[in-house]
Amino acid sequence: MTTGLRHTLAQLGWLNAVLYWLGRALDKASAGGCALHRYRFVAQYVGDQPLCAGRGADIHIAPHARDAAPPDGYPRPQAVVRERFAQGAHSLAAWRHGRLAGFLWLVPNAYQEDEVRARYRLASRHASWDFDVWIHPEERLGWVFPRLWDAARQQLRERDIRWTCSRISAFNAASLRAHAGIGTVRLGDALFVRCGAWQWMFATMAPYFHLSRDAASFPQLTFDTSALADVTPTEHPCPPPKQSATSSEPR
């Protein structure tokens, strides 16, 4: 086993490592026509106290205005950004020394996934969905992620949101570590396999299995955080920079 394979196995565990290698093989054999994604769905409690007061003071957090053009080098296509705004999402961006250092997206009620064909619905009005947390590679060992997350928590608290849900690629070890560092509750998992126009979903929650043959067909997964109200986790202190590295791919 090569060093790269051993590293992947150590980072992801044997099941996710096998699926990751299978996905890469499918992508290569089909020239990008097939893809495999495995997601973990988690909920993060939105508490009342700031976690990182006084840390990362040189990082400026600001909303991404809907009518503003994305900055140069923005790592998402403009069409995707427009679609996100169209479904009611909004974004917070972190800036450091005049350069985009990171961003995250938030959306209430439901989120139409833009990586696979799926819709995630929130059953509670006290829940929100966060997605696509991106941190500039040079900032992934710093305070950008904690500061960005703290700003998002403050905004969510003002809207009486107590839980925020998200999906994480099971192949993104850095993102899994970062979310674990701020405390999460696991809600379920799903595997998506796409080949051309066909898509198969296997999930640990209803509807458990779904076959889609066109863009108009997609599964809807519902997440109800109201059952978590009595198991509110203890909030973690602001994680040190070495635990806050968040990568962007796979998302």
**CA angle, residues 148, 180, 190, in degrees to nearest 5:** 105
Instruction: Record the tokens describing residue 145, joined without a space.
Output: 């992620």
Q: How far apart are CA 167 and CA 187, in angstroms?
A: 9
Label residue 241 by pLDDT band (50, 70, 90).
Answer: very low
Local structure of 229: helix, strand or coil: helix
Q: Rounded mean pLDDT of the chain?
A: 85
Helix (H), strand (E) at residue 140: none
The number of beta carbons lying within 10 Å of the beta carbon of residue 24 is 14
Closest C-alpha among 71, 159, 145 to residue 107: 159
User: Tens digits of per-residue pLDDT, 169-222?
Assistant: 988 877 777 666 667 889 999 999 999 999 999 999 999 999 999 989 999 999
What pLDDT is stored for residue 212 in this prediction? 96
The number of beta carbons lying within 10 Å of the beta carbon of residue 158 is 8
What pLDDT is stored for residue 17 in this prediction? 84
Q: How far apart are CA 115 and CA 201, in angstroms?
A: 13
Q: What is the dihedral of CA 14, 20, 23, 24, to 10 degrees?
A: -120
Task: Give the domains, in start order, of the chain with CATH numbers.
Answer: 1-32 (no CATH), 36-243 (3.40.630.30)
Q: Which stretch of 92-106, 117-131, 132-146, 206-220 has the lowest confidence by average pLDDT?
A: 132-146
What pLDDT is stored for residue 249 in this prediction? 46
Label residue 70 by pLDDT band (50, 70, 90).
Answer: confident
User: Tens digits of per-residue pLDDT, 82-109?
Assistant: 999 999 999 999 999 889 999 999 999 9
Share of the chain above pLDDT 70, in %: 82
As a whole number, mean pLDDT of residues 20-37 equals 92
Higher pLDDT among residues 139 and 42, named by residue: 42
